[in-house]
């Protein structure tokens, strides 16, 4: 019986290797858990196009917005583990494990890590008509009108980041939910909400165009994209909140295919031209091995579970 099991395993391993050698033989879909136009979608499209070039097959983006990426994650978790459905994730994937009372999948166990992609700071932006030009002035205004100022909640990472920012600043803001960064920014431009914290890659063009005011960046240091804009820390608040991106596949995807995808991903992420294309999004590329990404994901799940517990902030 043992010999039969070993022989069966060997034959399955051989089939897996054979599939990886010819993979991919058809287009690949890359699911994004947010609507088009937001920071995650922008980075995903850059990555997907380049990955398709490396693999010799189209990698098509499929936007499945809603519930901070939970809908998309459930779709991918239940997809065939054949390498033809991938999941482009952001920090929200780790946060949702504790932010939502229950998700219909296992955040770690139902996915096979492929690689980390990169990390980007957010920007604190306000509607242009608001009579403030610095973060300190915004905080003073918010303190004078508790609950009167609204913020656009675009995803679990930026929602938690904004709530944490409010708590550390001693201000009370009213949450207005949106399905993505693009509609939230549109609401801020029109004055329907007063504040949006979102990825610098999507907010900065609006700031430079005068459609939003940029008050601060949420990284540990100023962004080279906007060196004139101070960090939140410089404004006297010990607050740093960045967004990371990565790629997952359904659990059970053959290891040889995961290895093929990782090698292709790392080659494009280490390319100087791709780094230059990612820079306007404020993204620093950070390719990894599948094991490194898996370890990182587990640590992020634990980290944000503590933040959710300490702040008491959960999905409504």
Using the 8-state DSSP alphabet, how is residue 234 labeled? G
**Window from 155-159, 162-166, 171-175, 298-302 with minimum mean pLDDT:** 155-159
Specify which of 13-22, 51-60, 303-312 reaches the highest per-range mean pLDDT: 51-60
- Residue given tokens 């010819």 in the structure block: 22
The DSSP output letter for 17 is: H
pLDDT of 2: 53
How large is the average pLDDT for residues 289-293?
Answer: 98
Residue 91 pLDDT greater than 70, yes or no:
yes
Query: How much is the average pLDDT of 216-243?
Result: 93
Report the distance separating Cα 181 and Cα 152, nearest Å.
Answer: 8
Distance from C-alpha of 198 to C-alpha of 177, rounded to nearest angstrom? 13
Distances (CA, A) of 124 to 22, 178, 204, 218, 291: 46, 17, 10, 7, 34
Check if CATH label 3.40.50.2300 holds for domain 2-120+244-311.
no
Q: For residue range 119-152, what is the model confidence (pLDDT) as tens digits?
A: 999 999 999 999 999 999 999 999 999 999 999 9
Give the list of residues 6+ apart from residue 55 with CB closer than 8 angstroms, or none.
24, 28, 264
d(CA 248, CA 227): 33
Highest mean pLDDT among 3-7, 90-94, 237-241, 307-311: 90-94
Is the bond preceding 24 in cis, omega lying within 30 degrees of 0? yes
Residues 115, 109: Cα–Cα separation, whole Å: 16
* pLDDT band at 8; cut points 50, 70, 90: low
pLDDT at position 201: 86
pLDDT of residue 16: 55
What confidence score (pLDDT) does residue 83 get? Answer: 98
Per the CB < 8 A criterion, the answer to whether 310 and 146 are in contact is no
The partner residues of 88 in beta bridges, in order of sequence, read 32, 247
Q: How confident is the model at residue 238 (pLDDT cuts 50, 70, 90)?
A: very high
What is the CATH superfamily name and number for domain 121-235? Answer: Periplasmic binding protein-like II (3.40.190.10)
Q: Which residue has the tokens 């509607």?
A: 127
Say whether pLDDT at 9 is over 60: no
184-218, pLDDT tens digit by residue?
999 999 999 999 999 898 899 999 999 999 999 99
Q: Are 198 and 125 in contact (CB under 8 A)?
A: yes
Report the range of poorest mean pLDDT among 15-29, 234-248, 278-292.
Answer: 15-29
pTM for the complete prediction? Answer: 0.81
CATH 3.40.190.10 domain extents, the chain: 121-235
Q: Model confidence at 3, in pLDDT bands (50, 70, 90)?
A: low
Alpha carbon distance 247, 57 (integer Å) = 17
Averaged over 62-88, what is the pLDDT? 96
Rounded distance between C-alpha atoms, residue 162 and residue 175, angstroms: 9
Percentage of residues in the chain having pLDDT higher than 70 = 93
Mean pLDDT value across the chain = 92
**What's the CA gap between 148 and 126, in Å, rounded?**
14
- CATH 3.40.190.150 residue ranges of the chain are 2-120+244-311
- Confidence category of residue 303, pLDDT binned at 50, 70, 90: confident
Q: Which two tokens stand for residue 202?
A: 């999507």
- H or E segment at 48? helix 39-55
Task: Note the pLDDT of residue 11.
Answer: 52
* C-alpha dihedral sign at 188, 191, 192, 194: positive
Cα R_g (the chain), whole angstroms: 21
- Residue 280 to residue 204: CA distance in whole angstroms: 9
Distances (CA, A) of 96 to 159, 184, 292, 312: 11, 20, 21, 14
């Amino acid at each position: 019986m043992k010999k039969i099991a070993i022989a069966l395993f060997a034959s399955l391993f051989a089939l897996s290797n054979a599939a990886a050698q010819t993979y991919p033989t058809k287009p690949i879909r890359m699911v994004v858990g947010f609507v088009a136009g937001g920071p995650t979608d922008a980075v995903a499209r850059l990555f997907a196009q380049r990955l398709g070039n490396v693999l010799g097959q189209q990698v098509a983006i499929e936007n499945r917005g809603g519930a901070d990426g939970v809908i998309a994650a459930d779709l991918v978790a239940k997809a065939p583990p054949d390498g033809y459905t991938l999941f482009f994730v952001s920090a929200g994937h780790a946060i949702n494990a504790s932010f939502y009372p229950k998700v219909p999948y296992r955040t770690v166990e139902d996915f096979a890590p492929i690689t980390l992609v990169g990390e980007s700071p957010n920007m604190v932006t306000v509607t242009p008509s608001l009579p403030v030009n610095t973060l300190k002035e915004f905080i003073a205004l918010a303190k004078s009108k508790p609950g009167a100022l609204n913020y656009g909640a675009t995803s679990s990472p930026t929602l938690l980041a904004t709530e944490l920012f409010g708590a550390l600043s001693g201000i009370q803001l009213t949450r207005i939910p949106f399905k993505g960064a693009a509609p939230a920014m549109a609401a801020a431009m029109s004055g329907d909400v007063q504040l949006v914290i979102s990825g610098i890659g999507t907010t900065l063009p609006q700031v430079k165009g005068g459609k939003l005011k940029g008050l601060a960046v949420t990284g540990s240091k100023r962004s080279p994209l906007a060196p004139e804009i101070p960090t939140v820390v410089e404004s006297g608040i010990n607050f740093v909140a960045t967004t990371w991106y990565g790629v997952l596949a359904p659990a059970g995807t053959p290891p040889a295919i995961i290895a093929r995808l990782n090698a292709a991903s790392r080659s494009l992420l280490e390319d100087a031209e791709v780094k230059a294309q990612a820079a306007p999004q404020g993204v620093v590329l950070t390719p990894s091995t599948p094991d490194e990404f898996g370890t990182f994901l587990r640590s992020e799940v634990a980290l944000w579970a503590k933040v959710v517990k300490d702040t008491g902030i959960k999905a409504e």
